[in-house]
Amino acid sequence: MTITKPLIVQEILELLQTKIEEEKQVIVHCCFPATLSFGNLIRIWSSTFLVDDSINHKSTLIHHENISLFPYWTEVPPFQDYWFTLVFSGLPKDCKTFELREEIPESGGFSVKDIRRNVSDIYRVKIT
């Protein structure tokens, strides 16, 4: 018995490739640096994006881990770095650098600029 590999029409392969691109995700591990004070609070807004202004693209926040979403707060322990993780929708292939940008209607939003794209789409950044 001979087993043959099925033949897939080129159009279907192209459609599937588009779906694969749509499903990619970007993981950003964020560090809020240690402070000497008690009572520091942090949170993330759903209006936090990965932005590549050069190609007019915004990846949206899909999931957050170890940090509260507005309007709630997360208390940060003193004297130690605090880590949380954000998961975003995928970046386009032609994106080379991007910014982690929190777009909020009040002061205190953060931004991490010039994050260089890598093949794994997993990043570690410091929130300052």
Does position 4 have pLDDT exceeding 70, yes or no?
no
* Locus of tokens 């990965």: 50
pLDDT, mean over the chain: 87
Q: How far apart are CA 42 and CA 74, in angstroms?
A: 5
pLDDT value at residue 88: 97
Quick one: average pLDDT of 1-19?
61
In the chain, where are the structural domains located? 24-126
Query: What's residue 34's pLDDT?
Result: 85
Given this model, what pLDDT does residue 1 score?
57
Confidence category of residue 10, pLDDT binned at 50, 70, 90: confident
Opening angle at CA 105, ends 66 and 125, nearest 5? 40
At residue 14 the predicted structure's pLDDT band, cuts being 50, 70 and 90, is low
pLDDT confidence of residue 39: 78
The pLDDT, as a whole number, for residue 6 is: 57
> How far apart (Å, rounded) are the C-alpha atoms in residues 60 and 28?
12
Give SS3 for 37. Answer: coil
Supply the pLDDT for residue 16.
Answer: 58
